[in-house]
C-alpha cells in the first residue's frame, strides 16, 4: 500500500502540491489526471522521492521513504515501479526486451527476467 500524508511541495513561493493525502491499496493500478500545471508530475515524483516533498510523508509497504538514508531510498526504489507519461524505452528493443533490460539492471537472473517479461 502507498500512503501519502499531508504532502506539499513548494518551488519558492509556488506550491505545486498542497497538503495532499491519499491511500493507494496494494495491487491496484492508479492514474493521476488533471489540467496542465496542476501538480500531477510533481506528486508522482514525490511518491518515490525523485523529488522530496517540502512537507508530509510517503509510506510504501510500511516503509516511510521520507525517513530513509540515500542508500536506503535507493534500495526501496527497486521495489517501486512507475510509468511516466513520457517514458523512455530503448527504441531498437521490443516491449518484452525493455522489461527484461530493467530487470537485468536490477540483478535478476536471465531465466527469471524472461519469465517476468513474458508475464507482463
pTM score: 0.68
Strand partners, 5: 57
Q: Which domains are seen in the chain, by residue range? A: 2-77 (3.40.50.300), 88-120 (no CATH)
Q: Are 7 and 20 in contact (CB under 8 A)?
A: yes
Strand partners, 3: 23, 59
- 56-81: pLDDT as tens digits: 999 999 999 999 999 999 889 888 87
Rounded CA separation 120/115 (Å)? 9
- 44-49-53-59 Cα dihedral, nearest 10 degrees: 90
Which pLDDT band, with edges at 50, 70 and 90, does 32 fall under? confident
Question: Which stretches of 1-120 are DSSP H helices?
Answer: 40-47, 70-77, 95-105, 110-119
Amino acid at each position: 500500500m502507498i500512503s501519502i500524508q499531508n504532502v506539499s511541495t513548494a518551488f519558492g513561493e509556488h506550491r505545486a502540491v498542497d497538503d495532499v493525502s491519499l491511500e493507494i491499496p496494494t495491487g491496484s493500478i492508479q492514474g493521476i489526471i488533471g489540467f496542465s500545471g496542476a501538480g500531477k508530475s510533481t506528486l508522482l515524483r514525490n511518491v518515490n522521492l525523485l523529488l522530496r516533498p517540502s512537507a508530509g510523508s510517503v509510506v510504501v509497504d510500511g516503509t516511510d521513504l521520507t525517513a530513509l538514508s540515500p542508500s536506503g531510498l535507493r534500495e526501496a526504489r527497486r521495489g517501486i515501479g512507475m510509468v511516466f507519461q513520457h517514458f523512455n524505452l530503448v527504441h531498437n528493443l521490443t516491449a518484452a526486451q525493455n522489461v527484461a533490460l530493467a530487470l537485468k539492471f536490477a540483478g535478476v537472473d536471465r531465466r527469471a527476467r524472461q519469465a517476468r517479461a513474458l508475464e507482463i
